[in-house]
Structure 1
Amino acid sequence: MQVVKVDIDTAAPLNPEASILIIYTGGTVGMVFDEKEKHLVPFNFSQIVDHVPELRQFNYLLTVLSIEPALDSSNVSVQDWLMLARLIGENYEKYDGFVVLHGTDTMAYSASALSYLLENLQKPVVFTGAQVPIGRIRTDARENLITALQIAATKKDGKSVVPEVCIYFRNLLLRGNRSKKVESSHFDAFKSGNYPPLAETGIDIEYSYEHILLHPQQPFKVHHTLNDKVAILKLFPGITPQVVQSILQAPGLQGLVLETFGSGNAPTKDWFLDLLREAVYRGILILNVSQCDEGRVDQGRYETSKHLLNMGVVGGADISTEAAISKLMYVLAQEGLSHPERVELLQQDLRGEITL
């Protein structure tokens, strides 16, 4: 894998409004139809202005870092998240904002992970992509890219308006670690069920300042490690002891996202409770997350969740699964913490991912 740098020719004079770094990882947004091969292939980003001529009108300095070969987002790994964090960290002082072009299928996972890795962020990191390739006539890539760049460049009183990792798609700007892909066939692909949009776009970009994270007072810091010894267990009626046991007793497992019913409810059968209790006893950090797109876990509200609370399962409040899995990775990667300290950190609102 290599990173190729491309400078984009825009209308920016010697004193541009902003300098933006675009990081292209792959995905539909950067695909064109190859007439010879008869399938979609990644296009050369040095030719981006041919597909989005509006870029020439920007009074921005635009630079592209293109990951080669391009990644299908289904293949994105923890190492790719760490690479993105490193690239942003290395270029943090050179640019006013960042736009990450990414496949939609795992965009919410990647945006969530970056939110934890980039601590005390004071500049926008805007993820965007497309449902239709940029080479197609009815593509949504152009509008998504253009607006993402505008958001990344926008300042108020000399400071970035959106100092956080977010996703722009269709006409909504969403907090990255509150987002979820909900559509595979329509342009409005992302939703944030438990948190309002940071901005909505129409004729103008209308920012909801009260929902945007405040500028941090501490210096920016990049974290370079995540612990991938984690798993997700989604409960379903009829789940067997063998299935649960195979996950909880996976070699090296240190953390588990437990996707429960409703407000955090789970079976009360003896075999299930025994397996969970034994996992907690072994020090596995278990985070209870609701399968619902909206609402929150309230352990102890019903008898079917009280037993989880009593045995030491951590309630995830209104966190999404996408944000929970990388939060577990982040918490487990923090060195020198005891199990109770990790539980305490897991329950904190670190980057706006939960409502306390």
Structure 2
Amino acid sequence: MNDKKILLIYTGGTIGMVKDYASGALRAFNFDELLKNIPELNQLDCSIDTVSFQEPIDSSDMGTSDWVRIVEIIEAYYDSHDGFVVLHGSDTMSYTAAALSFLLENLSKPVILTGSQLPIGDLRTDAKENLITSIQIAALQERGRSVIREVGLYFEYKLYRGNRTTKINAEHFQAFASLNYPHLIESGVHLNVFKEYLLPHKKNRKPKFHKQMDENVAVLKIFPGLNQRALDGVLKTEGLRVLIVETYGSGNAPTADWFIDSIKMAIKNGLHVINVTQCSGGSVLMGQYETSTQLKKMQVISGKDITTEAAIAKAMYMLGSDVSDALFKTVFETELRGEMH
């Protein structure tokens, strides 16, 4: 057995369920029996420890306190383990991957999120391959150093940068996409690592484990027929500090006076307004069309090619880190963990 140690963190989700064949119902998996259920894990050249949330949760119930709990587990085991695999429900996995990428600063070890579309005990399950390869990637080293030194999301033969992903399908095994950034590893007969796309490691920087997130963030999707009452309802939310606006195409929004005036007044009153595209791929380029020129003049923050999931996580992280109002726009528009270009 190799001396590499991998920690499996089970938060909940389909991957941790097994079918009770007598009743047909799904029940939570006992992770102490992991090796018994997946004997292939014995062939990996690393030892595996497991930690489970006391009460595993459906990923639809995932919140900021759960993200902090994962960070605390990783911090507690950081020095004793070489890599971390977080087992998670697929519905909010992209949000958690993005959040962890900001909360875990200066990583020198991999944190890989994975899950499955079918339970681990199912005949056609995708859980075994996702789990086994995620552990292999977490244990991957070159000259005694981890190959992956960032938060990744592994699903259906591909490792993506965690904060670049979006769930695109509820039924296919290929449930995730990274439309604005290439995948980092492809699993075939060999693990093909695309080193040119990996996050550069900052040498001699100690890892930082952040534990503050501010939830005073909202998302508004622009749509034909959006009216002033609906907009005002969002803008007048008590305590709101950041509004992420999902605009059309490359950052375009209505030019009606009521819309522009409401956004302008909100910004004047201290609200940070971030422009992200509602398209799955592509980037915000304010000023390219007349319909976004006024937003640019108002100092609306450009989300560039960030995903909505990563924009939410970054905004919550920045608010929790007490980034000043004066610097908020500059910091948000700066790439912190490879989340935007």
TM-score range, shorter chain: over 0.9
Name the structure 1 match of 2:196. Answer: 210
Q: Identity, % of aligned pairs?
A: 46
Cα distance in 1 for partners of 2:196, 2:12 equals 33
1:27 Cα deviation after fit: 0.3
Name the structure 2 match of 1:285. Answer: 272
The residue correspondences of 1:36-185 to structure 2 (distance < 5 A) are 38-185=24-171
Runs of 4+ in 1 over 6 A off after TM superposition: none
User: For 1:259, what is the secondary structure of its paired residue?
Assistant: strand
Q: 1:37 to 1:275 in 2, by over 3 A?
A: farther
Please tell me the residue identity of whatever aligns with 1:219. K
Aligned Cα root-mean-square deviation (Å): 1.1
- Superposed CA offset, 1:97-136 (max 9, x none): 0000000000000000000000001100000000000010
1:38 Cα deviation after fit: 4.2
User: For 2:53, what is the secondary structure of its paired residue?
Assistant: strand
Name the structure 1 match of 2:211. Answer: 224
Please tell me the residue identity of whatever aligns with 1:48. L
The residue correspondences of 1:301-320 to structure 2 (distance < 5 A) are 301-320=288-307
- Where does structure 1 lack aligned partners over 5 or more consecutive residues? 1-11
Cα distance in 2 for partners of 1:303, 1:145 equals 48
User: For 1:287, what is the secondary structure of its paired residue?
Assistant: strand
Name the structure 2 match of 1:190. Answer: 176
User: For 1:348, what is the secondary structure of its paired residue?
Assistant: coil
Name the structure 2 match of 1:20. Answer: 6
1:35 Cα deviation after fit: 4.6
Cα distance in 1 for partners of 2:157, 2:307 equals 21
- Superposed CA offset, 1:267-293 (max 9, x none): 011111111111111111111000111
1:195 Cα deviation after fit: 0.2
Is 1:267 the counterpart of 2:240 in the alignment? no
Q: How many residues align?
A: 340
Cα distance in 2 for partners of 1:119, 1:235 equals 33
Is 1:234 the counterpart of 2:239 in the alignment? no
- Superposed CA offset, 1:28-85 (max 9, x none): 0011123566421211111112321101122311100011211100000010011111
Please tell me the residue identity of whatever aligns with 1:54. E
Q: 1:286 to 1:238 in 2, by over 3 A?
A: same
Which region of structure 1 is more displaced relative to structure 2, 58-67 or 144-153?
Answer: 58-67
Cα distance in 2 for partners of 1:141, 1:190 equals 15
